[in-house]
Amino acid sequence: MTLSNTRTKDPLLAVATVLIWLILGITAFAGIIVTICIPGVILFGAEFVEAPQLNPLSTETKALICGLLAGVAALLYLFWRFFRAMQGIVRSVGEGDPFVPVNADRLTQMAWMVLAMNIAAIPLAALGLHIARLVGESGGSMKGAFDLGGVILAITLFILARVFRQGAAMRNDLEGTV
């Protein structure tokens, strides 16, 4: 069964494919913008971040802002990679063959990415709060830095990876006996 036939028969796969492409595009755009901001902060300082009252930003503050932007760019890259892996899984489902070892590998990679994003969010949130205090803004909170849902998602993905690995092995064993 071809992917185009499956898409016409399974609207969920078509919707998932479109949503994944949309998310990939938005994430790539955001990553490019954040990355472009790094040299902007270095070259233009407070003018670039629309804080003329802070002009000139200290070299330390510029470095902290650039570090935060680099961390956000790294998170966006992990997010983009997560959805590329999901795209591969959706494609294999559309082709009618999801229980392949590569999907187990994709699920494992997705789990590690979710875990990495959750762990990296903690120091990035702390850095953001520190920068906010340095520039005289009232700080937010660290409430959103740790996401229990993300940890549960990572565990679920690790378990699904094992299920897919076992399913692929069982299918290979079955094909060998037929």
Looking at the structure of the chain, the number of domains it has is 1
pLDDT single digits (tens) 114-144: 999 999 999 999 999 998 888 777 767 667 6
CA 145 to chain centre: 15
Q: How far is CA 109 from CA 45, 84, 102, 115, in A?
A: 37, 11, 10, 10
pLDDT single digits (tens) 44-56: 877 776 665 666 7
Q: Quick check: pTM over 0.95?
A: no
Q: How far is CA 13 from CA 41, 85, 86, 110, 137, in A?
A: 42, 15, 12, 19, 45
Domain that holds residue 158: 3-177
pLDDT single digits (tens) 151-171: 999 999 999 999 999 988 888
